[in-house]
Amino acid sequence: MDIVASHQRWQAARQAELAGPDSWLGLIGLIWLEPGENAVGSAPECPVGLPHGPARLGSLRVDGTDLAWQAAADFGALVEGGGAIADGWQVLLTDRSGPPSRIVIGSLVFFVIEREGRLAVRLRDRNWAAGRPPPELAYYAYDPAWHVEAFWQRLATPQRMEVPSVSGEMKVVEVTHQAVVGIAMQAVTLLPVSASDTETFFVFRDRTSGRETYGAGRFLKAPAAVDGKITLDFNFAYNPPCAFTPFATCPLPPPENWLQFAVPAGEKKWDEDI
């Protein structure tokens, strides 16, 4: 496989995603829900405020992490991916284990995310790009020196690692392995934020962070380890959603993943004026 061509295809996919109607750039709100009923509409008294549309579109009902929707009697909205209806309330899915239910009214779409047991509405305008030039991402040229093979070492004792987020939440993850590799004349270890049978996910920052790359760090996905080794290609490091919008809830790099050297590979800092 031509890795440079693969890298170019990845860049094109990133570009298309950012320019699309469901781009992170189209988010216009993040509203944390309270237990009980949360009115949705454009009226000032609605806790889930819409920028336009009916004064009262309906209500979201929160019971723990269970969620239901009831449309106002005189106004309906398209519900995508909703569940059963009982007593006028329709069960909605959060993003807990897959795509969430979506409520659509014109170009506006909202859905509910779950973060550490709390629910929040994420509001999107799918017509965000109207009248704007296409966004452009910037990258370092592909450098094979940053395609490295690391040892995938099992920790003697699983580690409970605290992973902060831009929203102030703290998530505790259990780490059973670490990636160990020699870079820049140093023995470097990276701890995964999550790992599955197919993919391992890292959040890191380095000496380019805040200068040439996004200040809060970058994401890196790697195929699952094979025979005690894992391939880390930093050319595929990319900006987290919070680089593009204040309405994201990205994990931040844990202190263990603060690299003390520059990684001039992958996606550069997002500049809306480019």
* Residues 71-76, mean pLDDT to the nearest whole number: 76
Span 8-62, pLDDT tens digits:
999 999 999 999 999 999 999 999 999 999 999 999 999 999 999 899 999 999 9
Q: What is residue 274's predicted lDDT score, i.e. its pLDDT? A: 45
Tokens 């992170």, located at residue? 24
Q: Report the 10 Å Cβ neighbour count for 147.
A: 16
Tokens 């102030």, located at residue? 168
Q: What is residue 163's predicted lDDT score, i.e. its pLDDT? A: 85
Q: What is residue 185's predicted lDDT score, i.e. its pLDDT? A: 76
What does the mean pLDDT of the chain come to? 92
Domains in the chain, CATH or no CATH each: 21-125 (2.60.200), 136-257 (no CATH)
Q: What is residue 107's predicted lDDT score, i.e. its pLDDT? A: 93
| Nearest Cα to Cα of residue 132 among 15, 25, 30 | 25
Residue 215 CA to its chain's centroid (Å): 16
242: left (phi over 0), alpha (psi -120 to 50) or beta: alpha
259: left (phi over 0), alpha (psi -120 to 50) or beta: beta
Q: What is residue 265's predicted lDDT score, i.e. its pLDDT? A: 98
Span 179-236, pLDDT tens digits:
999 887 788 999 999 999 999 999 999 999 999 999 999 999 999 999 999 999 999 9
pTM reported for the whole predicted model: 0.90
With bands split at pLDDT 50, 70 and 90, how would you rate the model's confidence at 75? low
